[in-house]
Chain A
């Protein structure tokens, strides 16, 4: 009798946790984000199938037909997909790690210097990231065991490295590489690459939006933040609320180009909003 009451009381206490009003907003944003991530993975995979098939025919034609070979050399847009490919696929599943890496590299961009520099940078960046992560995994496990956890119960560190091509036309190539490390909450780090293949350089927001790129982007972002707060129950760090306000984009704010060639400015988790809002994206229209 007494026991039953005690359980009811405990359950009441458990259920008394107040549900934050932004929960449903957080949930729908997460559903969108999850669906988007899954769709892009699938799209990339499908893309590879097509690209491989194209390659097969391509080799055949080049072999049998020298005229064709010289003709394709002049088609700059050929195979937007063929310019970026998975250079390395790496998996590791053991007691401390669940690592899954898909590392991209560039090819046939028509600009060997740029290509080599970017490929090297990507490789180096991801190698460093993995080294650090492994070191962290080891430290965490030791700390876990020292503080009384048993080795069998240790939850492995989960690292995912993947990429997504955002824009690939005759001129631009824009792609994101992200690394997600699940240690505490999952923390995602993003690397954005935006290349102008015609001039062989990496693009900045200034190149695309002009010298007043910061004020232009800030205006769009502020009004979009207002709209999202009003219509989607979004929450941002604002001066009037947390004293931790949006100060405008940085000179080297991350961005990518969407398939229309418009810059999409990225804010990492916690950068301008509570972690539960995830990564925030804002599309900045090109000049009116």
Chain B
């Protein structure tokens, strides 16, 4: 921690060092969160470790693209989520369709059994699922989610409301006696 007011005296070099220091601290402190989030995408222990590892290497080796140290959190999560989605896309490509979770829509509306909320979240589209996870499991602000996903705040909001509505339908909340 630097005393405030000394900021202006910093040279470019200590700035970079500072930035890296900050990034490293952030990563060390948040590793369990990163792992859980990665796991929720890839559903496999080794793959999740792999994704976390790749994200960290990438973040550090490209730390000069982090302009504003205050945004370290959203900047890093953006890298992490990109890595997660890349895996997801890869699965989609290499695994036969049967092994993938059914896509939402149509058929299960007829199902008698209501879905558990967690399972319902799994059925959302990828972008919606990301917003739900970040908002409700990682406690992020909508502004942060917008920065992480590279979308504007209104889009995040409308996707969030749409997903909540769908979740409600699938879990059958209104029907509870």
Query: Taking beta carbons and an 8 Å cutoff, which residues of A are in contact with B?
Result: 2-3, 6-7, 9-11, 13-15, 17, 19-20, 22-24, 26-27, 29-31, 33-35, 37-38, 41, 140, 143-144, 147-149, 153, 155, 182-186, 274-278
Contact = CB atoms under 8 A, between A and B. Distances in A.
Nearest to A13: B118
B154 interface: no
Contact of B50 (A9, A27, A153, A185): A185
A274 to B, nearest CB: 5
A1 to B, nearest CB: 10
B93 A275 contact: no
Interface of B: 20, 24, 27-28, 31-32, 35-36, 39-40, 45-47, 49-54, 56-64, 82-83, 85-87, 89-90, 92-93, 97, 103, 116-118, 121, 127, 133, 136-137, 171, 173, 176
Nearest to B127: A153
A17 B39 contact: yes
A41 B47 CA distance: 28
A234 to B, nearest CB: 12
Contacts of A26: 49, 52-53
Given A7-B117, A38-B61, A38-B63, A183 B90 contact: yes
27 contacts: A9-B117, A10-B118, A10-B136, A14-B137, A15-B36, A17-B39, A19-B36, A23-B31, A23-B49, A27-B27, A27-B31, A27-B52, A30-B57, A31-B28, A34-B61, A37-B57, A38-B20, A38-B64, A143-B93, A147-B92, A147-B93, A153-B127, A183-B89, A184-B86, A184-B89, A186-B54, A275-B46
B58 A186 contact: yes
B58 A19 contact: no
B102 to A, nearest CB: 12
B86 A182 contact: yes
Nearest to B61: A37
Contact of A10 (B20, B60, B97, B121): B121
